[in-house]
Amino acid sequence: MKEGRPRSFYVLAIFFAAYVLFLYGPMIAIYVLSFQGPQGGLTFPMNGVSTFWIAKLFQGTGIVDLGAAFHRSLLLGIIVMILTVVLSVAAGMAFRRKFRAQSILFYSAIASLIVPSIITSLGISLEFRIIDDLIKAHWNENFETSMGLLTSGLGAHLTWTLPFGLLIMFAIFNRFDPRLEEAARDLGATPWQTFRHVVLPIILPSVIGIGLFGFTLSWDELARSSQAIGAVNTLPLDLQGLTTTVTNPDIYALGTVISAVSFTVIALALGTIHMLNKRQAAKGSDAGKGLV
Amino acid sequence: MSEEVLQQAAPGLIPGSGTARAAKLTRLSPSFISWLQAGPMMLVFLAFFLIPLVFVVIVSFWDYNEYQLLPAFSGRGYTDTFEGCIAQLPDLCTIGRTYVMTLKLCFMVWAITLFIGFWVAYFLAFHVKSKTWQMGLSLLCTIPFWTSNVIRMIAWIPLLGRNGLVNSGLVKAGLINQPLEWLLFSEFSVVLALVHLFTFFMVVPIFNSMVRIDKSLIEAAYDAGASGFQTLVNVIIPLAKPGIVIGSIFVITIVMGDFITIGVMGGQQIAAAGKIIETRVNALQFPAAAANAVILLAITFLIITMMSRIVDIKKEL
């Protein structure tokens, strides 16, 4: 088992490589196809190379009002990201002690993750419809709707991102050495100081990971938005609408632009995490590693 | 004793010594702080998940006409859903056929994602020795999960379409005379896309279970004369079972409720449990949509309960 690599290694390495190709191959195909010439169609071979379709998207002459949907999705993604980070870190801290309703919160998060999105989405839309009806009946007859991007839409996205945030916090604190906090307390730090100067710097790389999940999951969210977003569309909804009608590379160009944002955010987050880890390795103390 | 075990398994979950605990008592009460910390997340789940679920159940028993909800008790949502089910016996009615189709898709996707997920996780956990490589390769598997599902679906169009790469390649190679029609907008493409999108949910939990397996157990099995296959069946699979079950729950519940992938990749032609709900909502028949949601929820819940009999989820996180 120790020297050389067993034959199974090579078999599985090929299997793994095939899986990675399966994951990325089709995506790369549409990125390439979105840079076709103006006469390009939906499939290979490429019909010339240009940025015609991408430019068309940005000029707003395409089929979608890209600018408005883009801004809506970006705004929602950023708000979801911030709330996911703050609420998950706070709740993750709470789980380190026993408290009542602990298992209710835990099972709510797990259920929210696995109850089919269409049901959650339908429920939110029913809830807001009923609220609207109540407002119309009792307070304001001309009231239109309380459903919208930052009410029902935001809530729908949070039911999807918060479970991931909470599970990441569990993973973080499974590896966290509580003696560091005790040391801070023994030295007279208040709970807030302990959190701010001891806990947070240690968990920061993973917290950025939570933010990455929060933004990207919201940016691409579709199933939960479908019934709960209200009158306006987010980018993925526009894109889904196009799948049934479009016959030219518009749709690939839109896909490429949406992915470009995702990849930028992923790169920024991973870069920051890498930098923070390196800094921790370089400047972190050797406390707790025993006497040498 | 149980605290000691937990302390070993998950040192972070149990706060430290008694002295630290005593010191904390002099400040804000710990339970108050816990409420403050966990409260906001609880409120979000209450307002946007638990209460909406209650509304789904309530509205499923309401009446409706062509354009609005009528808040009066009625079983119409359910009777409309099961219309003709008894009259058509022994043939299956629409809802019956839809669920058979959904379960069939579910089973195929589950079997394939389990196979791929298991071996991908196995490779990462046991064959990749360096931590850096393990991180890098796991990341490679995770990145697509952070990108758009719809894009990953339409990405199959240039490959599987009538004039797509696969068809033109096969025609050129002389294997077929005319393009295969079943490659795109078919059951095949739905299963392919679902596997493509959701194998990730299988890889992560199985990998998590596998990296926790003590390597000396495997060496012990070898030393005791077990073959590679025997080690796999008698040591690795039993120890990876929690991950397998959790991954299976994820994949099955996602496919049970899916309507987007089945819609886009099935060319809007394949009926599925999630799609009925969408169709009913689009027709503004909310009680019927809610009734279907309750049925779907009940079936999903049944599957999860059966599976979680095999493993205690809470212990595994």
In chain B, the percentage of residues whose pLDDT exceeds 70 is: 89
Q: Closest residue of B to A9, CA-based?
A: B127
Q: A30 and B154 in contact by Cβ < 8 A?
A: yes
Q: Which chain B residue lies closest to A26 (C-alpha atoms)?
A: B155
Comparing alpha-carbon positions, the chain B residue that sits nearest to A173 is B12
Q: What is the pLDDT at residue B80?
A: 82
* Cβ–Cβ gap B304/A124 under 8 Å: no
Q: Is the pLDDT of residue B91 over 90?
A: no
Asked if A20's CB is within 8 angstroms of B146's CB, the reply is: no
Say which of A42, A93, A113 has its CB closest to residue B158.
A42
What is the H or E stretch that residue B70 is in? strand B69-73
More confident residue, B242 or A81: A81
Give the whole-angstrom CA distance, residue A124 versus residue A230: 11
A-chain residues within 8 Å CB-CB of B117? none
C-alpha to C-alpha distances, B49 to B95, B213, B215, B252, nearest whole angstrom: 26, 36, 42, 20
- Asked if B196's CB is within 8 angstroms of A26's CB, the reply is yes
Distance from CA of B213 to the nearest CA of A (A): 16
Neighbouring residues of B21: CB distance < 8 A, sequence distance ≥ 6: B15
Is the pLDDT at B11 greater than 50? The verdict is: no
The partner residue sitting opposite A1, judged by closest CB among B36, B163, B222, is B222
* B13, B44, B163: residue with CB nearest A87: B44
Q: What whole-number distance in Å separates Cα of residue B251 and Cα of residue A114?
A: 9
pLDDT band (50, 70, 90) for residue B118: very high
**Which positions in chain B touch A26 (Cβ < 8 Å)?**
152, 155-156, 158-159, 196
User: How many Å apart are CA A204 and CA A198, to the nearest integer?
Assistant: 10
| Alpha-carbon distance A128 to nearest alpha carbon in chain B (angstroms) | 9
A63 or B13, higher pLDDT: A63
In B5-34, which positions are buried (b, 16+ CB within 10 angstroms) versus exposed (e)?
eeeeebbbbbbbeeebeeebeeeeebeebb
What integer pLDDT is reported at residue A49 of this predicted model? 78
Kindly list the residues from chain A whose CB atom is less than 8 angstroms away from the CB atom of residue B35.
94, 99
- What average pLDDT does chain B have? 84
All residues at 6 or more sequence positions from A16 whose CB lies less than 8 Å from its CB, including other chains: B119, B120, B123, B124, B137
Question: Which segments in chain A show pLDDT lower than 70?
Answer: 1-4, 60-65, 246-247, 284-292
Contact A155 B148 (CB under 8 A): no
pTM score, whole prediction: 0.87
Nearest CB neighbour to A110, from listed B48, B277, B313: B313
How much is the pLDDT for A14? 95
Chain B environment of A113 (Cβ under 8 Å) = 250
CA distance B188 to chain A (A): 15
Counted across chains A and B, CB pairs separated by less than 8 A come out at: 297
**Ordered alpha helix ranges (H), chain B:** 2-9, 18-25, 30-45, 51-59, 76-81, 94-122, 131-142, 149-154, 157-160, 165-172, 187-198, 200-211, 215-223, 228-231, 237-257, 260-265, 273-282, 286-308
- pLDDT above 80 for B36: yes
At residue B5 the predicted structure's pLDDT band, cuts being 50, 70 and 90, is very low
Per-residue tokens: A222: 């579709």
Residues of chain A with C-beta less than 8 angstroms from the C-beta of B48: 120, 124, 152, 155-156, 158-159
Distance CA A272, CA B262 (A): 37
To the nearest whole Å, the CA of B113 is away from the closest chain A CA by 11
Beta pairing class for B62-64 and B69-73: antiparallel
Which residue from B minimizes the CA distance to A246?
A: B154
